[in-house]
Structures are given as C-alpha cells and as structure tokens.
Chains A and B, each alone.
Chain A
Amino acid sequence: MSQESSEHLEALREVARAIFSDHATAEAVDAAAAGPGWSPELWARLDEAGLTRLSLPESRGGGGGELADAAEVLRIAGEFAAPVPLAETALVGGWLFAAAGWPLPDGPITAASGALDLEPDGEAWRVAGRLARVPWAGVAEQVAVLVPGADGDRVVCLGADAVKVTAGRNLAGEPRDDLTVEATVPADRVAAAEGSWAAELALRAALGRTLLIAGAAERALAATTRFVGEREQFGRAIARFQAVQQQLAELAGEVAAITGAAEAATQVVAEDGVTSSAGRFAVAAAKTQASAAAAALARIAHQLHGAIGFTWEHTLRHTTTRLWAWRDEDGNEHAWGRELAARALEQDADSLWALLTATS
C-alpha cells in the first residue's frame, strides 16, 4: 500500500472512530434496540461526514471513494456495534440502485433477493409476495429487490408506501423485518437486471457481514484483554494465569484469521471485482472463516470475562450477540464452504494449489 493511501485510510479511520465513539455509545446501542431499531442521530452524523455511501458513484448521489474506504468504516461500525444500516446502504442496496440506473435516495436503504410476483399492468407493474428477514427494512426509505425470473432477473424499487412491515429482530436486536408486498409500482421503478447481479448481491452482502464481524472480533479481543488485565482474583490480575493467557492467545489467533481474511478479500475484490474468479473465491473464503470463527470468539470472550460478562449490565453482549447473529446471516460457513468445495471439485485435484494462489 502506498504511503498516500495508508495516510488517507488513517485519516478516514480517525473521522469514523470519533463519530462512532460519540454517537454509537453503549447507551445509544441499547436505545436503538429497545426502540426504533436504529440511531437516526448516528446516521445523520455519518451522513454529514460522507461516510454512508462510500464506494458509490458520486454521479448517482454516492459518496465516491473506494471499496477500501467503505470497508474501513464498516469494520469500525462492527467494532462499535453501530445500530445503522451501513453495509446495506453502501455495499449492497446502494450498489443495486446504482446498477439499476436509479439515483440514490437520501436516507438509509436496504436490499433483498426474493421471489415476488411481477405482472405488467399497463404502464406499471403489480408486485406481490413476501420477503423474510430483510435487514433494516422498517428503517429504510427504499428497498431494492432482485427478483429472479425465467425471462431474466429484475430489480424492483419499493418505497415505504408499497410494503407492509412485520418487525423482526436478530439476536442483537437489529431489525430483520418481514415485508408483505401488494402494490402497483411505476415502470421506472422496475429495471432489467444482468445475469451476474444475483451473485454480486450475495457476495457483497457476505463481504459486508464479514467486515462487520471483523470489527466485532477486534472489539472482543480488546475488551477481553482489558478485562483480564484489570480483574483481580487470588491477589493478582487474572491475566497472570497461564490458563487465561493461553485462551486469550487462542482468541487472538481467531481474530487474526478473520481480520486477515477480511482484508485480503477486500483487496482482491477492490482490484479484480466482486464477481471475478478471484473475488468470488476470496469472499467465500473470508465469510466461511468469519462465520466459523465467531463461535470461539464469543465463547472465549465470555469465559474470560467470567460471570460479569454474562450480565445485561455489561456491554460484552453488544459484541457477542452480533457475532452469534451475523455468522448466520448472508450465508453461514457451510453455505459458503460449499461454494469453495465446488470450485475445488470442478477442476483437477492437482490444481488445488493453483486455485488458491490464483484467488489471492
């Protein structure tokens, strides 16, 4: 990485950290979960600073910048358990809006993939169906839905008036809403989708979730390291016990694996594209690694925090409930692991090493 680009990312990190520190406090995270599901205040601050639409083209109302920029902010969002639909707006929904040729709406957006009935109705379309557990759907102003079709996939843009929201939450209290659609949508809100968009949507969602998990993993390690250095038993900090040190090191190993995979996948995707041969493998590998490691992260963090970490009062739950939720969202380790296996099994076994070197 050039000096210039690492300085740029460092500056971006500082801006992002300052906003999250001030507005994604433990209190704000709890208030969001207990109330509307998100923090409009945090969103407004991020928006002001141009951090909600990074990597999306400015010509469409995006924030410009590179994928690496969006990735940095997402990782920090994961670290702070930030209750805002950042991945959905920048990496996933925003991308789909731009791909469909629509200007980006103000405010948060989200995306989904699902079978909806689309019937032409004069100049418009009648849209009907149900979509389950759409992230932040009740919070989003618009939802872009990729609808598969025998005659080609389509993207449908649904506003708040076109959907009925049945609120749902994941383990961390983040909105995962069911949508019931029965509406007529103007023709300019339905666009033909290219064949590769379904895969790209899934890959972008997986990459976004991986980056969030990476940030949460770093928070788990930092919080646990701090705790064991402060908590005293038997006349000394519990960090002095080898049993604790060994487990902390195991935790660090999993954090290194997740963050290393997330960074490498981001680099490959940024350079080669999400749906490139290398990009697809890299994202699958990173999400498999992130989902698979989440269990050990949460287990060790809780074990080393002792009873206090298991309470409502302590904020470790902000991190661990997200790890438990996010590992199963956008494809768990088995779903993405099967993708990797398929890649390996479709070519000569002796080319396995070549596959690994070509996809990184």
Chain B
Amino acid sequence: MSPAVDSAPLRLVPPPVRLRHEDLRAEVRAFLAEERAAGAFTPRCDAWLSGWDEDFARKLGARGWLGMTIPPEYGGQGRSALERYVVTEELLAAGAPVAAPWIADRQTAPGLLRYGTEAQRQRILPGIARGEWYVGLGLSEPDAGSDLASVRTRARPVDGGWRLTGTKVWTSGAHRANGLVVLVRTGESEEDRHRGLTQFIVELPNDGVEIRPIPILTGEHHFNEMVFDEAFVPEDMVLGEVGNGWEQVTAELAFERSGPERFLSTFALLVALVRRLQELGDGVGPVGHARLGGLLARVWTLRQLSIAVASALAAGEAPAVAAALVKDVGTRFEAEVAEAARLLVEVEPDVESSAELPRLLAEAVLHAPGFTLRGGTNEVLRGIVARGLGVR
C-alpha cells in the first residue's frame, strides 16, 4: 500500500535569511558592554518579563533603539523590522533589563500604526520611542485564558465614551504602566463570539481601575489583576473600530508569537554554563560536550527559524504555522537549558547566590512553567499547527 504523496511537501518554514546590519549590531554590543562594565545591569534569565528598568529603557530610547519601526513623524526611527530584530536579539541574548518598554515596543506601537487615530499616534508613539510610555495588556480573565474569545469584561456606551466593568488577569507590568490596552465585549452576538469585541486604550491612573498584584510562585510581582468598575474611557480612546477587536488582537499576536524572546529567555544561563564548563576543562568529558553541542545546535537552528519568520512577516506574509512551531520548540528549549545545566555541572539552584550559575539556574527553573504558558499555551499553538496541516 503506497500512499500517493508525490506532490511537493508543505513548506513549513519560510526560506532562510542571513541578517546583515553588522554596524548596528556592533553599536548595540558596545553599549551593552559599557553598561555591564559600569554595573548598570547583570544578565538575567527571563529579563524581558522580570527586568524592569526605566533608566535603561530611556537609554535605549535615546539611542533610537525603541520604536525603531515607528515613522519619524511620530518620534520613531523609520527603520526596518529586521533592523529592530537585530537590536532585540542582542538585548535578549545579553539578558538585559528590557521589560519596561518591551510590550509597547513589540505590539502596541504596531497596533497604533495599523489601527490608531492620528491623535492617538501623536499622543502615545513618541513616549514609546523614548522608552517612557509603558503598557499593560488586558486580555485574559479568570474564566478566559486560552479561550480568549470568551472574555466577559463589558463596555457600555455613555455620554462622551464608555464605561468598562469586569476583571482582567495576568497583565504584566500593569502596576507600573502608563496605559493599558484592553479587549472588551461591546456587542451581543449569539452566533459568533469573535464579533462584538473592541480594544480600548485606558490611560492610568483611572479612578475605575484597581490594580492588584498576582505574585508568581517565587513571590515576585510581575503580573496583576485589574478590576474595572465602571471605569470611564473617552470615545477617542477606542483603538480601531468598535467590534473589530478580535481581528486587531489576532494581528498583534503574530508579532508576539515568533520573536527571539521565545527561545532566548535562558540564554544568560547557557553562557554561564559554558563559562563553568571551561573552568572544569577535562573534567567535563565527551558526553558533557555532546550535550552542550546539542543545545548549541538547537539554539542555532531556532535562530534561523525565527529570522526566517521575521523576514516573512516584514514582507507582509502571515506565517502562522511557522510562528507557532518556533514558539513551541523554542519555549521547550528554554527549559531544556536548565535541565542540561544542572546535570552537566552539578550545581544547586540558589536565587540568593552571588555566583552567577546557581542564581541563573534558579531563575530559569522557577520561571520555566511560564515559558510554555504565555503567549498562547503550547497545546493551543499545536492546535494551530494541526489546523495548518489540514487535520483540524
């Protein structure tokens, strides 16, 4: 029995691209080296979640490394998406504290450029480019995680705007943000839950918004619950069209899913591991070297895939399957680095350690559950892949 599979196989990933921009890369590296030497930051795992540093954000903004793809008339650099990619991968690989400007730069700026009014762009984009305007995303709710379309936070129209009521959870940085972008139900649709959703920009502080911490298992405060109680949002802070929220959010997700933060969260640990293996010298042995090599092959490969996806996105394509695959494989790799490290060098994780390896290992192990949950659980992403393969 021979299945007739003679037609060309499905192309899963866009073709490879070799990034140039070596001058830009060198500039970012020089800056990072100076900052490290000056003690301005220490490399961390998961720094794009936990490394909140507003001074650092402003330094990036001052160098034109935030809002890079925002047009100059809004305070940006008018540079290409791939140039932005080069900068972000350098920052992430260095474990630099980029949490504060990260989400605004990654998806709110593109969202405003795509759907925002002129007034909204003038009001918000310059601050994003300067590294001074930080955002929190109001998406998940207690009863709406993977099933985002089932959100129940409502907005009712009032004179001059809307009043929002409901609860959002898992909003990173909300307690320090200048504004929120919130997905809210504005319409009634029995047949299609995806209709009747709207995005709002909620500037903070807002009398009707109470923000409470949701500490993670380490006790760290990055995430928040936001309770909206008739919170007023003026009409001119609707983002895009009323009722178009689902399509707008889905477009943002494409930017969120496939970037280098999906496999570089534990790169600082990999560097520390290499350093320790060098110290151990012959004590490591061939199997240990082989294990390290496996990690290196994987990270090299993931970078190729991620760049290929970024290039396709920059060309206006929508490689949803490839992006989902990169995130699935990449986030599992991030946890694998920690497992390899603890076995190769017999180190115990210790959050308090002044030595880099025990501390970075602790950060990686304790944060690992989040890698495969955030930005779409890996199970949901595999469903997207299955759909792309035509079996769902």
Contact = CB atoms under 8 A, between A and B. Distances in A.
A253 B329 CA distance: 6
Interface string A280-310: 0110111011001000000000000000100
Query: A-B pairs with the 3 shortest C-beta distances?
Result: A337-B293, A249-B382, A349-B275
Contacts, number: 204
A352 to B, nearest CB: 5
A81 to B, nearest CB: 11
Given A315-B3, A337-B289, A341-B289, A252 B325 contact: yes
B301 A252 contact: no
Nearest to B296: A340
B9 A271 contact: no
A76 to B, nearest CB: 9
- Tell which of A226, A249, A254 has the most Cβ of chain B within 10 Å: A249
Contacts of A315: 1-3
Nearest to B328: A253
Given A253-B385, A337-B296, A352-B271, A239 B94 contact: no
A259 interface: yes
Given A314-B1, A344-B292, A264 B304 contact: yes
A261 B300 contact: yes
B389 A345 contact: no
Contacts of A150: none
A260 B275 contact: no
* Band of interface residues on A: 35 or more
A360 B9 contact: no
A249 B385 contact: yes
SS class of chain B's interface: helix, strand, loop or mixed?
helix
A17 B278 CA distance: 48
B181 to A, nearest CB: 30
Nearest to A215: B9
A223 B2 CA distance: 10
A339 interface: yes
B15 A285 contact: no
Contacts of B385: 248-249, 252-253
Contacts of B19: 357, 360
Contacts of A25: 2
A229 interface: yes
- Tell which of B25, B325, B383 has the most Cβ of chain A within 10 Å: B325
B385 to A, nearest CB: 4
A8 interface: no
SS class of chain A's interface: helix, strand, loop or mixed?
helix
A337 B298 CA distance: 10
Contact of B293 (A218, A340, A356): A340
Interface of B: 1-3, 5-6, 8-10, 12-13, 15-16, 18-19, 25, 29, 89-90, 93-94, 267, 270-272, 274-275, 277-278, 286-287, 289-294, 296-305, 308, 321-322, 325-326, 328-329, 379, 381-383, 385-386, 389-392
A285 B1 contact: no
A102 interface: no
Contacts of B18: 267-268, 271, 360
B16 A252 contact: no
A356 B303 contact: yes
A349 B274 contact: yes
10 contacts: A221-B10, A222-B9, A284-B297, A288-B296, A334-B286, A334-B290, A336-B297, A338-B293, A349-B278, A352-B270
Nearest to B276: A349
A313 B1 contact: yes
Contact of A261 (B275, B297, B321): B297
A209 interface: no
Given A256-B305, A260-B13, A334-B287, 14 more contacts: A229-B391, A239-B392, A245-B382, A245-B386, A246-B382, A252-B389, A257-B302, A259-B12, A261-B300, A264-B304, A285-B297, A286-B297, A337-B297, A340-B300
A26 B1 CA distance: 9
